[in-house]
Structure 1
Amino acid sequence: MIEVELRLDREPYESLVKTVLAWTGPDTLTTRNYEQIALQLTGHTRAVAADVRRRSDQLSKNSGPRALADVVLREAEGQLSATIEGTVRCVQNRARLVRVLYERLDRLNAELTRSKRTCPD
């Protein structure tokens, strides 16, 4: 119930995702630092995934956006089950998950807004 009341603080994580995905060249942080960043992104990914699930559950079971959300959530859960490694590659994979889930969340929110306009209560 608590999760329903909390809004995600999106901006800092979007900034982190953008920074992490811009990394190129040799690893410059310690393994432990990469692990900590991956853990932060993992926790946030799970929170965004829960938000995506709540939004998709508001759509009809036959809707295309809900089906796409289900696919994205299954893929995200599969990737989150992988062991965290203290590497740039691992951190960037977690960052991509955050980005994809936010994109799906935005599309679900748009769909919910559109459906409320066309089917008022």
Structure 2
Amino acid sequence: MVLYDPDGLIEAELPFDREPYECLVKAVLARSGEDTLTTRDYEQIALQLTGHARAVAADLRRRADQLPKKSGPKALADVVLREAERRLSVTPEGTVRCIQNRARLVRALYERLDRLEATRVTRAV
């Protein structure tokens, strides 16, 4: 059976399993010193972070599109999303620098997503 959901509404209702990715981001950003992982390990981490960044960016886009066109929170989300597009257009590499950049991107996307959520909750009250 194929599910028809052109607006991504079903996916929008599913919460992210943030904790494992937040732990991965912390571990990647805490790396300094001796490399004990192989290039292949770094490539796998880069792919994980890239996929998750794309999913969080899609969620951020859906939520930002629900805001008024000239609102400050939407403008800030658009800036973060443009930067995410630019950074995600670069092919991931099997390097520490690459995975740290992807980790920073995931962190920035979650920060903007949390701020949008806080704005939505504040407006609802």
Instruction: Calculate the TM-score normalised by the size of structure 1.
Output: 0.93
1:76-97 alpha-carbon deviations (Å, 9 max, x no partner) = 1100111111000000000000
Aligned sequence identity (%): 74
1:4-27 alpha-carbon deviations (Å, 9 max, x no partner) = 132100011000000000000132
Residue of 69, 74, 93 corresponding to 1:61? 69
What residue identity is the alignment partner of 1:38?
A
1:93 aligns with 2:116: no
2:86 equivalent in structure 1: 78
1:48 aligns with 2:56: yes
2:37 equivalent in structure 1: 29
CA RMSD of aligned residues (A): 0.9
What residue identity is the alignment partner of 1:26?
E
What residue identity is the alignment partner of 1:25?
G
- For 1:81 and 1:7, how far apart are their aligned partners in 2? 25
What residue identity is the alignment partner of 1:13?
Y
Worse-superposed segment, 47-56 or 34-43? 47-56
Q: Please list every run of at least 4 consecutive aligned residues from structure 1 whose deviation after the TM superposition is greater than 3 angstroms.
A: none
Q: Secondary structure of 2:67's match?
A: coil
CA contact (8 A) 1:42 1:80 kept: yes
